[in-house]
Amino acid sequence: MEQIITRFPPSPTGYLHVGGARTALFNWLYARSKNGRFVLRIEDTDIARSTKESVDAIFKALDWLGIDWDDGPFYQSERLDIYKEYIQKLIDSDNAYYCTCSPEKIKRVRESNIALGQTPKYDGTCRDKRLKKSDKAVVRFRADNFGTTIVEDIIKGNILFQNSEIDDFIIQRSDGMPMYNFAVVVDDITMGINTVLRGDDHVSNTPKQIALYRALGCLLPVYGHVPMVFGKDRTRLSKRHGAMSVTAYKDMGYMPEALINYLVRLGWSHGDDEFFLKDDLIKKFNIKNIGISPSIFDSEKLLSLNADHIKAAPLERTAICLKPFLEEKNVEITDMSYLSAIAGTLNKRSKTLLEMADGAMFYLESKVVYDKKAAEKFLKLNAYDCLSFLIDQLKQLESFTQENQEEAFKKVMDMTGLKFGKIAQPVRVALTGKTVSPGIFEIIEVLGKERVIKRLEEALLYIDSKR
């Protein structure tokens, strides 16, 4: 069986958005699930709008998602000689010709077609003139005016196009730059691409590309057009629906595993399963399970799924993902095992890594910052004795296990006659500065004996200062 070779060809005119990321993901998963190859191609022939910043952003987004490539990146801007060679092949075989019709004339012809209720298309003025190459000449493909073209789509099924609706489209501009449909076909031929998965907004381009393949005497790739992703109002996805660039989700504290999981579920299914890790997807991905109906992007579902992935991730992995968010807060992380332990107390209560970073700050501060209302309510004179007794009990512990910590609290309860909650809240504020936090024994275990005693002693000094 021929090796599957797919590709992802972004245009570097902006950041990688979720729609493009989903296209990349489907191609990558299909190649990986079939032991095939995945090619990255940068379609940068739009010189005016293509930027290195956008190229770098695409690379960073793919790297963060864990989508790697086997060949490339190839740049269309570096392949102009190849396009010229194929243009000449089409001209020599009489499948293309030079055209000197002005843009104004083309506009008049199209407007006339529309007024007559006809397809707005080029009228073929230069089709049989046998013009020579010139500075103002574009190159047009000589399209068939009769018959039909059938797109055999592995997702949508067969799609029929009337060739009479396709005009002699331009394949090279007068400045020598190739047009999209032509460059794509030449790239896919020369890179051995045999499977093209893309959004169904490209369906209308497919008959033109098939015509070019046939004119060049090359085998067609397998086509599959993936349904579009809409917002909740069933209009095309945009920022107002919460759909932003991949790097924006990264900066908001989403796990790459969660975004991949969510994107693949926009149009693909595996029974009733909702939660997937990347290795699961590679094993289970089947192109036949891509649906034909548009998907709805729901930012709330993505957030919920992100929380699930934070809960499920190994703590070492969570710590690695969390570290940059803490560094953004000017917190230097030198002990990753400590950070992993911190993450273990916050992973079940954090929807994003950004939220987790906020929740982790009290663990990492050299001095606890007390919330004013919390300190006024719980770090009062009546808490002094129980905190002092607890310090004495904790200092005596040779082994700082949770069982021994609980025993120390019980002794303080016996000594003071106070219930656990009356002791725990002053301790919580002393250790975290807040009234809401992970479980008190979780905090104590992570902070360790030295930090806990130091913070309790600082709380005593604070209470003393308020006498």
- In sequence order, the 6+-apart residues with CB closer than 8 A to the CB of 288 are none
User: How far is it, in rounded angstroms, from Cα 21 to Cα 250?
Assistant: 13
The class that CATH gives domain 313-364 is mainly alpha
Size of the chain, expressed as the number of residues it contains: 467
Kindly give the confidence (pLDDT) of every residue in the chain, 467 residues in length, as a single tens digit, with 9 standing for 90 and above: 699 999 999 999 999 999 999 999 999 999 999 999 999 999 999 888 999 999 999 999 999 999 999 999 999 999 999 999 999 999 999 999 999 999 999 999 888 888 888 888 899 999 999 999 999 999 999 999 899 999 999 999 999 999 999 999 999 999 999 999 999 999 999 999 999 999 999 999 999 999 999 999 999 999 999 998 888 877 777 666 666 799 999 999 999 999 999 999 999 999 999 999 999 999 999 999 999 999 999 999 999 999 999 999 999 999 999 999 999 999 999 999 999 999 999 999 999 999 999 999 999 999 999 999 999 999 999 999 999 999 999 999 988 988 999 999 999 999 999 999 999 999 999 999 999 999 999 999 999 999 999 999 999 999 999 87
The class that CATH gives domain 366-467 is mainly alpha
CB 338 within 8 A of CB 347: no
Q: Strand, helix or coil at 93?
A: coil
- In sequence order, the 6+-apart residues with CB closer than 8 A to the CB of 181 are 169, 171, 205, 208, 209, 212
CB 405 within 8 A of CB 397: yes
Alpha helices in 216-371 (DSSP H): 246-251, 256-265, 278-284, 299-312, 315-327, 336-346, 353-364
Q: Where in the chain is the domain with CATH 1.10.8.70?
A: 313-364
Q: Distance of alpha carbon 184 from its chain centroid, rounded?
A: 24
What pairing do the DSSP bridges indicate for beta strands 295-296 and 229-230? parallel
CATH, range 5-76+229-306: 3.40.50.620
CATH number 3.40.50.300 is the correct assignment for the domain at 79-226: no
Q: What is the pLDDT of residue 116?
A: 85
Q: What is the pLDDT of residue 97?
A: 98
CB 189 within 8 A of CB 213: yes
Q: Where in the chain is the domain with CATH 3.40.50.620?
A: 5-76+229-306, 79-226
User: How far is it, in rounded angstroms, from Cα 459 to Cα 467?
Assistant: 13
Token readout for 206 is: 């497919």
Alpha helices in 365-401 (DSSP H): 372-378, 384-395
User: Which are the catalytic amino acids?
Assistant: 239
